[in-house]
Structures are given as structure tokens and as C-alpha cells.
Chain A
Amino acid sequence: MRKNNYPLAAVAIPLIVLFFTLGVKSMLPVLFLYIIVLPVVLILKMFNVKLEDGLILGLFSSLVIFPFLVYLISKISNFRFGVALSLLIFYITLTALFYSRKKTLRHN
């Protein structure tokens, strides 16, 4: 296995375990959790946090920030929209940070 594939293989472990223990239905919340956590992990990586640390730190910080955003957005609309927009905000932030850092690096 290539060195870079380790984190990917590692995060697949709980998914495989849940598939064999609780069935396919239980995998959906985990997959959704991964989708929520992924941009936070990548944002942390941009700030020089090691990927291995960032996976765990990203997971725990998502547990706080995601429901906070969902709560605020749901106050003016509804829960499902809150979830969708919060997710979008995560990915927009990631994209914006990615391009701003790229620009800074090019400038330097």
C-alpha cells in the first residue's frame, strides 16, 4: 500500500465494520458524517496540522460547528435547509481558503 493511502484505508475501517454489524442502513449516517468532516480536515491541513491529527481534530470540531450552523440557519428556515446550507458553507470555506492560499503562494 502506498504511504498516502493509509488515512483513506484507516477511515474505511469503521465503515466496513458497521456494514457487517448493523447493515447498509447504518452506513449512511457514517458516510454523511464523513462528508461533513472532510472539508474541516482539509482546512486544518492547510493550517499545517498533520493529516493524522487533523482527521481526529476535524471530526471533533465538526461535532460542534456543524450543529451550531444548522441551528442558526434553521431558525430562519427549516432543518433540512439548515443541514444543506451548513454543508455548503463548509465546502465554500474550504474552496475560498484553498484559492486564497494558492494565490498567496503564487504571489510569494
Chain B
Amino acid sequence: MRTLIFRTVAPYLASLMILFSIFVLLRGHNEPGGGFIGGLIAASAFAIYGIACGVSPVRRALHFHPMAISGTGLLASTAAGMLSIFFKVPFMTGLWLDIPLFGDSIAVSTVMLFDIGVYLVVVGSITSIALALEERPNS
């Protein structure tokens, strides 16, 4: 599968897909998208990169172990749920904060943090499975 064309295109394709996945993640609240889908897109980006260029460049690019990314995601989602403790509202209640930015206002929320956590869990888990499978048994 490691043709010259594929190897040349794969890094660009993968970076575009990851950019797209973040876009999908962030628009998810109002339009089709969200953490799950975004995570799947990013995971396939890493899988493609791995198929084209080998596993170790992917691992280098990721810097962290994919499972650690997954763990961070779970932690972030849990934290998003737990933050409600400090406002004396039930677990997982969405909390919203409007931050004025360039004359517009950006809504930041625990829900968004939660979705980012979902994204990270999906990316981490599926990437680590894909990468482990891509590694040749004898290598």
C-alpha cells in the first residue's frame, strides 16, 4: 500500500482530516457533528498516516501514548461533570460562560469540555488499536 503517491499525500491528507475533525467537533452543538464523529475522523486520519508512512512517525507526531490521550479525555469529561459541584447543582449540569471576543461573544461551557473529552477518548482508543494492529508482529 505504500505507493509513492499515497506516501506523499498522506501527511497532508491526515493534517487536513484532523483540522476537519476539530471543526466537526466544535460545530457539533448546533450543526451535524460532535465529539464522537470528530474523534472517528481524527482516528482515521492517524490510521491513514500510519498505513502510508509506518507507525513510528505517527507515534512521534502524537508525542503521547494514544491511551494516555484517551485517559485525558475521560478525565476531562469527568471533570466537566464534576464542576457542577462547585455551583451546588446536580452532577453533569451544563454550565455556560459567555466570553466577549472581538465584539462577538463566544459561549464556553462544561458541555463543550465534555464533548472534547469524548473526542479525545475516541481518538485515543481507536488510534491505539489501529496503531497496535499496524505494527508488524515481527518488528
Are chains A and B native binding partners rather than an unrelated pairing? no
Which residues does B use to contact A, with CB under 8 Å? none
Which residues does A use to contact B, with CB under 8 Å? none
